[in-house]
Amino acid sequence: EAQVTQNPRYLITVTGKKLTVTCSQNMNHEYMSWYRQDPGLGLRQIYYSMNVEVTDKGDVPEGYKVSRKEKRNFPLILESPSPNQTSLYFCASSLAGQGTDTQYFGPGTRLTVL
Amino acid sequence: GIQVEQSPPDLILQEGANSTLRCNFSDSVNNLQWFHQNPWGQLINLFYIPSGTKQNGRLSATTVATERYSLLYISSSQTTDSGVYFCAVFTGGGNKLTFGTGTQLKVEL
pLDDT tens track for B94-109: 688 899 999 999 999 9
Q: How far apart are CA B25 and CA B3, in angstroms?
A: 6
pLDDT band at B62 (very low <50, low <70, confident <90, very high): very high
Average pLDDT of the residues of chain B = 94
Cβ pair B65, B50 in contact under 8 A: yes
Q: Judge whether residue A17 has pLDDT over 80.
A: yes
Q: Give the model's pLDDT for residue B107.
A: 97
Q: Give the model's pLDDT for residue A16.
A: 97
Residue A7 forms contact with B (CB below 8 Å): no
pLDDT band at B74 (very low <50, low <70, confident <90, very high): very high
- Cβ within 8 Å, pair A59-B1: yes
Residue B94 forms contact with A (CB below 8 Å): yes
- Nearest residue in A to B2, CA atom: A59
Q: How far apart are CA A48 and CA B5, in angstroms?
A: 22
Q: Classify A52 in phi/psi space as left (phi over 0), alpha (psi -120 to 50) or beta.
A: beta
Over residues A34-74, the pLDDT tens digits come to 999 999 888 999 999 999 999 999 999 999 999 999 999 99
- Cβ within 8 Å, pair A59-B99: no
- Measured in degrees and rounded to the nearest 5, phi and psi for residue A24 equal -140, 140
Q: Classify A58 in phi/psi space as left (phi over 0), alpha (psi -120 to 50) or beta.
A: beta
Q: Give the model's pLDDT for residue B90.
A: 87
Q: How far apart are CA A59 and CA B104, in angstroms?
A: 23
Which neighbouring-strand residues pair with B25?
A: B4
Q: Judge whether residue B80 has pLDDT over 80.
A: yes
- Which of B30, B89, B97, B104 would best serve as a mutation to test chain A binding (most A beta carbons within 10 A)? B97
Core vs surface per residue A92-112: b (16+ CB within 10 A) or e: bbbeebebbbbbbbbbbbebe
Average pLDDT of the residues of chain A = 94
Q: How far apart are CA B81 and CA B46, in angstroms?
A: 12
Q: Give the model's pLDDT for residue A100.
A: 74
Cβ pair B107, B13 in contact under 8 A: yes
